[in-house]
Amino acid sequence: MGYCARNLGQLDKSIAAYDKCLAIKPDFAPAREYLGEAYLAQGQADKVREQLAWLEKLNATTEATSLKTQLDAWVAAHPESAAAPATAATPDSATTSASGATKP
C-alpha cells in the first residue's frame, strides 16, 4: 500500500501505511527504506537520516546504501535546505516512531 501510494505521489497516505507496517514490525528494513524515500520526496532530509540510522543499526546494507545514495543526490541538488543537523538521531536515542507516536 505504502509503495503504491508513494509512487502515485500520495505521500501522506504512503507514510501512514509505512507507519502502520513499522508499528507491527519495527525492524522491517524495506519499509524503513521506502519511508525514507517518501520523506525525501517531501524534502524532509532530517527524517530521511533517521530512517538511514535505523537501516544502519539493522545492518540492512542494501537498503541503507540505496537510501544514502538517494539522500546524497538530493543534498547535492538542495544544499541550502539539506544541511545535516548538529547531532543526528539514532534508533537508540529516538523516543518516537516514524509517525511521531510514542514508542512503548
- Each residue's pLDDT tens digit, 81-102: 766 654 445 565 443 445 443 3
99, three cell numbers: 509517525
> What's the pLDDT tens digit per position in 27-80?
999 999 999 999 999 999 999 999 999 999 999 999 999 999 999 999 999 888
30, three cell numbers: 524495506
5 pLDDT exceeds 60?
Answer: yes
> What's the pLDDT tens digit per position in 6-41?
999 999 999 999 999 999 999 999 999 999 999 999
Nearest 5°: phi and psi at 101?
Answer: -75, 145
Residue 47's pLDDT is what?
A: 97
Asked whether 48 and 84 are in contact (CB, 8 A), the reply is no
Query: Considering the entire predicted model, what is its pTM?
Result: 0.79
Residue 81's pLDDT is what?
A: 76
**Closest CA relative to residue 1, chosen from 12, 10, 14, 20:** 14
- CATH fold for the domain made of 2-77: 1.25.40
**Residue count (the chain):** 104
